[in-house]
Amino acid sequence: MSAIGFIAIAAGIAALACGLAAIGMGLATSRAAEAIARQPEAAGKINSSLMFGLIMMETTAIYALLVSILLIFVLGAAA
């Protein structure tokens, strides 16, 4: 297999983390929806803490995406 093929596989594996982050986001959002259904008056506080958690999860996903993009455009261009 050529170097470019290996780079493509590596980029795909790196982007897997985005899917994992999506699972985490889904879990957090479902729990937040349950919590709001149970205590609608606490919706504001639940929303803001959910937002913070989502940002943290999204950060890891974005890092993975960045790694994958750098693999493709920097390493791939060099290979």
Partner 1 sequence: MIDLEVSIYPEYVALFGLRLPESAVIATAVVLLLVLGLVALNLFYIRRRFTAKPKGLQNLLELMVESLYNFAKGHVGDCAEFAAPFALTFMCYVFFTTFIEIFGLPPATEDLNCTIALGLCSFIMVNFTALKFRGLRGRLKNLASPSAVVFPIKVLTDCIAPFSMGIRLFANVLVGGVIMQLVYAVLPILLPAAVSSYFNVLHVGIQTFVFGLLFLTYTGEAVE
CB 7 within 8 A of CB 74: no
The DSSP symbol for 79 reads -
**Is 74 among the residues that bind partner 1 (CB under 8 A)?**
yes
Residue 3 C-beta: closest distance to partner 1, Å:
19
| Contact residue for partner 1 among 4, 43, 62, 79 (CB under 8 A) | 62
Applying CB under 8 A, among 35, 52, 57, 79 the residue interacting with partner 1 is 52
Site string for partner 1, 6-35 (x = CB under 8 A): ------------------------------
Residue 21, CA distances (Å) to 61, 62, 76, 77 in order: 6, 9, 25, 28
The rounded distance, in Å, linking the Cα atoms of 46 and 54 is 12
Size (the chain), residues: 79
Site of interaction with partner 1 (CB under 8 A):
48, 51-52, 55, 58-59, 62-63, 65-66, 69-70, 73-74
